Structure 1
Amino acid sequence: MTSRVGRLTAGLLICLLSAACGLPAEDEPRQADLPRNPLTSRTATTAGTEPPGEVTEVLCLVRDGRLVQTVRRVSAPPSLQHHVEALVAGPTEAERAGGLTTALATTTLKVGVPAGSTEARVEVADNEEGARSDETIAYAQIVCTLTSREDVNSVVFTRDGEALGVPRGDGSLSREPLRIGDYASLLAPA
């Protein structure tokens, strides 16, 4: 008897929970419009859905002191160096009209990933004129942009080949590999 009551109670509970989800029941399935492809995917998409060779390039730009992921469509996957150069070049005219900027203007960076690794090493030139007020957001832009790629999981900054202590989103300095989570407080709400 108890098992029968338990099954009845479980069935009733399932009915109540499914009715309480806030979505009305529908008689027929609805067509879902899915995104063109994942932002970091390099795999081919279904034939005819987008121009041949078109891939996404994610750049993390700045609006009101917060990181904003911007997606550009490019004809081929960018090299790490080209990706960073596009970030340093800053927003396009249309992106600037949308209020986007960069904290990286006039910054010189060289980037690479050692063979068999997913840790990008970013060499920062020694041409900075002291501390910058936007230093944290500048490093955050680089980490956010590079870790948006499928071939990069973390970023280490170096100067003359030595690990450089850079500010994280919480203001602490780190010489360790950085990930986007280290700058979560700087991400603009989606």
Structure 2
Amino acid sequence: MTILSFRVTRSLALVLFLGVVGGACGVGPDKGATDIPRSQVPFGLLERTEVEPVNTEPAEEVAALFFVKGDRLEPVFREVATEAAPAEVLEALLVGPTRAEFRSGLRTAVPEATSIGSVKVTRGVATVNLTRTVGDGRSDDQALSVAQMVFTLTARPGIGRVSFTIDGEPVDVPDGSGALTSDPVAREDYEDLAPPRR
């Protein structure tokens, strides 16, 4: 046997030996689940983690809408989208009272054909652009219909007065005394129509 063949034989024997020893020391396949005592489970793995459910419902808030009872305004509270735009709140007002509210004596003085083009708020004044005048209803209801919109809008944060336009042009509206004005109006202009104090 030459020195070269002796070295090759020795190297092969070493490789085979290491393979046998390595295989014997390896981890064999699991035969099934094994119970681990609680004391051997790493800290924190057995603690329950509460997961907050994801709320898919749209967030809502309550808005005051003002309808008419007798010859004065009466607030009704409705759910609207959180941070609803003033135009959205007015649209809710234009829907009118529910059947239950109607049976309780509430009505609206806003003419049915009234529709809102837009509402823009600048420095505390909401400018309501109507597509039709609020004067289409009974004449004694005109001030009430304007008051409904004024009280509803000024119940929203950041609005103190309301002006009205039709197709972008200022329009005269009656105040609480029946006098016409194109100036912005506020709740104080409709004190005689305000909800009764309780």
Q: Report the TM-score, using the length of structure 2 for normalisation.
A: 0.63
User: The residue matched to 2:76 in structure 1 has which SS?
Assistant: strand
Greater helix percent: which structure?
2
Q: Which residue of 2 aligns with 1:57?
A: 63
Conservation of the 8 A alpha-carbon contact between 2:127 and 2:162: yes
Conservation of the 8 A alpha-carbon contact between 2:61 and 2:81: yes
Among residues 121, 124, 127, which one is paired with 2:127 in the alignment? 121
Q: Which residue of 2 aligns with 1:140?
A: 147
Larger Rg: 2
Deviation at residue 159 of structure 1 after TM alignment: 1.6
Q: Which residue of 2 aligns with 1:189?
A: 196
* Percent of paired sites with the same residue: 36
Q: Which residue of 2 aligns with 1:83?
A: 89
Q: Which residue of 1 aligns with 2:160?
A: 153
Q: Report the TM-score, using the length of structure 1 for normalisation.
A: 0.65
Structure 2: where are the runs of 5+ without partners? Answer: 1-57
Superposed CA RMSD = 2.3
User: The residue matched to 2:156 in structure 1 has which SS?
Assistant: coil
User: The residue matched to 1:135 in structure 2 has which SS?
Assistant: helix
Letter in 2 for 1:174: T
Deviation at residue 180 of structure 1 after TM alignment: 0.8
Conservation of the 8 A alpha-carbon contact between 1:88 and 1:106: no
Stretch of structure 1 that moved more, 71-80 or 94-103: 71-80
Among residues 111, 114, 120, which one is paired with 2:118 in the alignment? 111
Deviation at residue 107 of structure 1 after TM alignment: 1.0
Deviation at residue 176 of structure 1 after TM alignment: 0.9
Structure 1: where are the runs of 5+ without partners? Answer: 1-51
Q: Which residue of 1 aligns with 2:186?
A: 179
User: The residue matched to 2:106 in structure 1 has which SS?
Assistant: coil
Instruction: Render the CA deviation track for 1:71-118: whole Å, top value 9, x for unaligned.
Output: 12345232211111110110112211221111122211223224x532
Q: Which residue of 2 aligns with 1:93?
A: 99
Number of equivalences:
139
Q: Which residue of 1 aligns with 2:72?
A: 66
Conservation of the 8 A alpha-carbon contact between 1:66 and 1:188: yes
